[in-house]
Amino acid sequence: MTRGAATVLLLALLAGPAAAQDGVTVPSAGRDALGQPIPALAPEHHDAFAHGRSLFRQAWLITPSAEQPELDGLGPVFNRLSCVACHVKNGRGAPPDGENDVMRTTLVRLSAPDGTPHPAYGEQLNPDSIPGVPGEGKATLVWTPVPVTLDDGTVVELRRPTLRFRDLAFGPLGDGVLTSVRMAPPVHGLGLLDAVPESVILEAADPGDHDGDGISGRPNRIHDVASGQTLIGRFGLKANQTTLRQQIAGAFLGDIGITSPLFPGENCTGVQTACAAAANRGEPELTAAQLDAITLYSAALAVPARRTAPGAEEGEALFTAIGCAACHRPTLTTGPYPALPELAGRTIHPFTDLLLHDMGPDLADGRPDGLAGGSDWRTPPLWGLGLAGVAGDGAFYLHDGRARTVAEAILWHGGEAAASRARFGALPAAARDTLLAFLRTL
């Protein structure tokens, strides 16, 4: 698409009656609800948004490509060919269905027992590869039923995943290897989270639980590649990336094998000789301009506006009353955001504090990540939660997709959230339904 055509298209999008008053949410609730630009997107950013969208959807090509050399550099090992392959319609992924299925929109992080990258497989299992290079192997999940009885006698059957590997190309992973299953999260509203000042995030931090409420949110602190500083991590399921740009560059390398100005080295380990010998472009495959465009696209993806439902207000009050809002912080404010000033100074309702919390042994992956411990997870935003699965292919929740409903997800909460989970389980059925109805309006 030409820049002019992109501008015409986006101007028309923004001129429509659907533009919301707050500038960053859209009233869409259909299959494409998570793919809309913020209504406030300035005309000078329309071309970059359209360019970024095409890069997000692009299947990356094996080097060399005569037809599109600007889009080659795939792998040599990788998980998927494109961003949209995992973030289907910009939404969340799905875990494998069982032993005969494999991970497509889910991945496995790896490290040696001492926390360093696995010597043979690196930081992430890459099942796929370009021809002539072995893929690293396959991972799947086997599910075990876990019945849970609520206070009123209702039985909810949860399912616990067990990670299995097969066809490992470089031998067994070894004793004590640390693994973490990560389902692709949705990607809307990320620019707004990127624009939240560290000071706002730290307002809610209480590492020592000095207020005695049982909640002790802690920031992860991560090396920021671009600035060389240590910054609060806010992206990734363990808050292991500092900025949206770094998160995207990390995903390009880890998931697609595309190098970038932030991560210029190919993702081959020392034993992966075919990987190291494979042709590559010899420069960052994702240019700075391409990285900027796809970052802007991701930053400018709008948040679905809240819908209404009977009892939603009551459900929201219950949500707060049983303690969910202590971590799923309803409101944050954004600060200056030079890369996309349209996001600055906004009051937003992401229902996250962007902090790490101990979620207990049931959800633990046992794999530390920066300052995040083996049972720590960053509070995931809940905006858009009610549209999970709206594209009709099922909806799964939590870091590994084990929960098939929001209720299941709540019932897996432990650690700092154990008390809230217990209160949820003690609610009368009608009150539980009211709370869940509220969550569906997000």
What is the DSSP secondary-structure string of 308-346? --TTHHHHHHHHHHTTGGGTS-S-EE----TT-GGGTT-
Q: Is 35 helix (H, G, I), strand (E, B) or coil?
A: helix
Angle, vertex CA 91, rays to CA 88 and CA 96, nearest 5 = 65
Q: Which is nearer to another protein, 167 or 213 (CB)?
A: 167
* Gap between the Cα atoms of 405 and 154, Å rounded: 15
Closest CB 81 distance from another protein, rounded Å: 6
Q: Which is nearer to another protein, 147 or 392 (CB)?
A: 392
Closest CB 187 distance from another protein, rounded Å: 15
Closest CB 37 distance from another protein, rounded Å: 12
Instruction: Determine the straight-line distance between the first and last CA of the chain, rounded to whole angstroms.
Output: 34
Closest CB 435 distance from another protein, rounded Å: 28
Give the relative orientation of helices 312-321 and 429-440 as an angle to the nearest 10 degrees: 110
Q: Which is nearer to another protein, 49 or 424 (CB)?
A: 49
Closest CB 66 distance from another protein, rounded Å: 6
Q: What are the counts of helices (DSSP H) followed by strands (DSSP E) for the chain?
A: 12, 14
Q: Which is nearer to another protein, 89 or 423 (CB)?
A: 89
Report residue 237 as tokens. Answer: 């399921």
Q: Is residue 176 within 8 Å of 149, Cβ to Cβ?
A: no
Closest CB 33 distance from another protein, rounded Å: 9
Angle, vertex CA 136, rays to CA 130 and CA 141, nearest 5 = 120
Q: Is residue 93 within 8 Å of 401, Cβ to Cβ?
A: yes
Q: Which is nearer to another protein, 62 or 148 (CB)?
A: 62
Residues interacting with another protein, by CB under 8 A?
1-2, 5, 8-9, 11-13, 16, 30-32, 57, 59-62, 65-68, 74, 80-82, 84-85, 88-89, 97, 100-102, 104, 128, 130-132, 134-135, 137-138, 167, 169, 391-392
* Gap between the Cα atoms of 374 and 239, Å rounded: 13
Q: Which is nearer to another protein, 49 or 412 (CB)?
A: 49
Q: Is 345 helix (H, G, I), strand (E, B) or coil?
A: coil
